[in-house]
A and B are shown apart, each in its own frame.
Chain A
Amino acid sequence: MNIEATTYKKRLTMLFIVFFFVFLLSTRFGAASLSFEDILQVFKQGEVTSNILVFREIRLPRILASILIGTALGLSGSIMQGVSKNPLADPGLLGVSAGASLALTISYALFSSLSYIMVVLVSFFGSILGIGLVFLMTMVSRQKMTTITLLLAGSAISTMLFALSQGISIYFRVSKEVSMWTSGGLVGTTWTHILISLPIIVLVLGVAIYYSKEITTLSLDEELAIGLGQNVFRTKILMYTLVALLTGVAVALAGNLAFVGLMIPHMVRGLVGFDYKRIVPVSVLVGGIFLMFSDTLARVIYAPYETPLIAIVAVFGLPFFLYIVRSEKGGVF
């Protein structure tokens, strides 16, 4: 189901146009509606008006953050689904983001304030904990886990870790701080957040493109990958580390957004097929488009109040989830 190079280029251009369009839309709307003239003003010399400040210090970092999160979640979903050959894999559903949340809650409980670099680091280690637990389940299980049992196990792990972190946050009375980021969406994103997250995402993107051939072979046939002399174990470890990094960055920015890591890869595969050399860059575009759009909705629906981004994403995600569960291509049964 791979597509011709020309079709790929055509679709890529289309995506770029949509991406740009959504970006423009996203710059314009929010609690304070800015006209395009206001926005152009930003790039000109002159006195700094409040509109310019709103755009430069609030709107722009927030849009960039939504693109980064979309990229991170879309890519981590793509990698996870490819490496585990599980069409329903998603860091949110399998308990990886729950691990990040737990780690963050614990560190909030122990230290009253954390620098943002620490927040990212902590949620990275938390993600590793989540992935480790899922792995442990597959090891303990008597037989090889099917897609469904793995997903059920993941959701149980997720529930457990969330319950734990909620309990801890109530016990140590940090629930306010914790819920600030778990349900805060992208409110209060600053340039610092972007400057720390961006290099990580770029690094991961580079590694993912470099290893795209390995991921593609692995996602198609593990035996084949071994036959081609690939060190499958090493590739898997590396890929899951990438997933943990991506999830860590995403959770640190906006809390737990389930379904995104599930739906983006499916859309991407539908658009460009199974080659990860194409999947990786297109995940950036599609993930970026989706989250920019959702976050714009979060700002606009009940402006000037914020609608929780989690809620919007979850409502969007369900139809997709159902579609995948029902479709033959889910290939689970």
Chain B
Amino acid sequence: MEKLNQVKKRACILLLIVLIGMSILYLAIGDIHISLESLLQTLLLTGSKIDEFVVFRLRLPRLFIVLSSGAALALSGALLQGVTRNELADPGIIGINAGAGVGVTVFFLLFSYDAKSFSYLLPVAAFLGAGLTALLIFAFSYQRKTGIHPYKIILVGIGFSMALSGFMILLISSAERDEVQFISSWLAGNIWGGDWPFVLVIVPIILIAIILIFFKLQTLNILQLGEEAALGLGVSLQKVQVFYMVVATLLAASAVSVVGSIGFIGLMSPHIAKRLVGQQTQRYIPITLLLGSTILVVADFLAKQLVEPNGLPTGLLVAFIGAPYFLYLIVRNNH
């Protein structure tokens, strides 16, 4: 047992090293390669003009977006899994991403020519869309006697995400024919908001949400014990559930509004984290965040390198890994 813990601890340290290493690679490698030495110089503001431009204008903002969005999606998944007590929940699978997408679509129809100067409105639009969708999904999977059905909610979510993708295309094709390209690349999970204005809006929101959750970890623990235990311990169940749902929606909506519809990160990260450090929220939530960031950074890095010149949409690469993982979970848990 002692040995096993040692191994797990090492795994966590390894994870941190991978994350930092990948971030450095992310900044260094691309169409223009920057040696580690000049990268260090650039970061200390003594590098060449070109390097400075590449790092500070192109790669660093995108890295921030990727790191924070990965963590946000992972945490959102963990919260959804906690609330629905179903480890197959994920903002992408459950339809929240698609709801945010409708918000983004409307936003784009309104401000397509200068999206950047209205960047602060983007997460708001995404959140409204996602919130409305989440509400509908809950309403449709809620039964008076039994409450939220843990599997039905996923089924309803799948239906919503398919229909809303169609709705997005419908909305777009009604107005701006050229924007169809944007929406289909958004749906495939193409990271497009890798720019400072978006960083300044999205990253703080995600950070605040994460900090908020860290104050409430104990309640999430209790929630996992089951509804009766929670009631017995004096937790106001509905209030807590609503709180977590709102934060989960906010996190997912802000993330996907800039990185496109990326699923499965919220599914995989909490699950792997629990296997590494156990069921206690104080332990697995931080690891979940790390995992989410790592998965997205690695996926985005590979997606950019694999296909010249524009790269694959990152969401596709995540789905290659995520969908089989989802299948594996279904087959294993099937009772």
Q: A residues near B, CB below 8 A?
A: 88, 93, 137, 140-143, 145-146, 148-149, 151-153, 155-157, 159-160, 162-164, 166-167, 170-171, 179, 183, 258-259, 301-302, 305-308, 310-315, 317-318, 321-322, 325-326, 333
Contact = CB atoms under 8 A, between A and B. Distances in A.
A153 B159 contact: no
Interface string B308-335: 0000110111011001101100111011
Indicate the member of B154, B174, B327 with the most A CB atoms within 10 Å: B327
Given A157-B327, A160-B323, A170 B155 contact: no
Interface in B95-151: 140, 149, 151
A152 B161 CA distance: 13
28 contacts: A143-B334, A146-B334, A151-B155, A152-B151, A152-B158, A156-B323, A156-B330, A160-B319, A160-B320, A160-B323, A163-B320, A166-B188, A171-B307, A179-B184, A259-B163, A308-B170, A308-B173, A310-B166, A310-B169, A312-B166, A313-B166, A314-B162, A315-B166, A315-B167, A317-B159, A325-B152, A325-B155, A326-B140
Given A305-B177, A311-B167, A333-B149, 15 more contacts: A93-B158, A152-B154, A153-B331, A155-B158, A156-B327, A159-B323, A170-B312, A170-B316, A171-B307, A171-B312, A302-B174, A308-B169, A311-B166, A313-B166, A325-B152
A305 B331 contact: no
B66 to A, nearest CB: 19
B96 to A, nearest CB: 16
B331 A141 contact: yes
Main secondary structure of the interface of B (DSSP, over half): helix
Pairs A-B, 10 closest by C-beta atoms:
A314-B166, A318-B163, A160-B323, A163-B319, A311-B166, A321-B159, A311-B170, A311-B169, A156-B326, A159-B323
Interface string B77-109: 000000000001000010000000000000000
Contacts of A307: 170, 173-174
A157 B323 contact: yes
B246 interface: no
Contact of A149 (B162, B320, B334): B334
A164 B159 CA distance: 21
Given A318-B159, A325-B159, A333-B149, A145 B319 contact: no
Nearest to B88: A152
B263 A159 contact: yes
Nearest to A167: B316
B69 interface: no
Interface in B285-321: 306-307, 312-313, 315-317, 319-320
Interface of B: 88, 93, 140, 149, 151-152, 154-156, 158-160, 162-163, 165-170, 173-174, 177, 184, 188, 263, 306-307, 312-313, 315-317, 319-320, 323-324, 326-327, 330-332, 334-335
Contacts of B166: 308, 310-315
A258 B88 contact: no
A188 B41 CA distance: 58
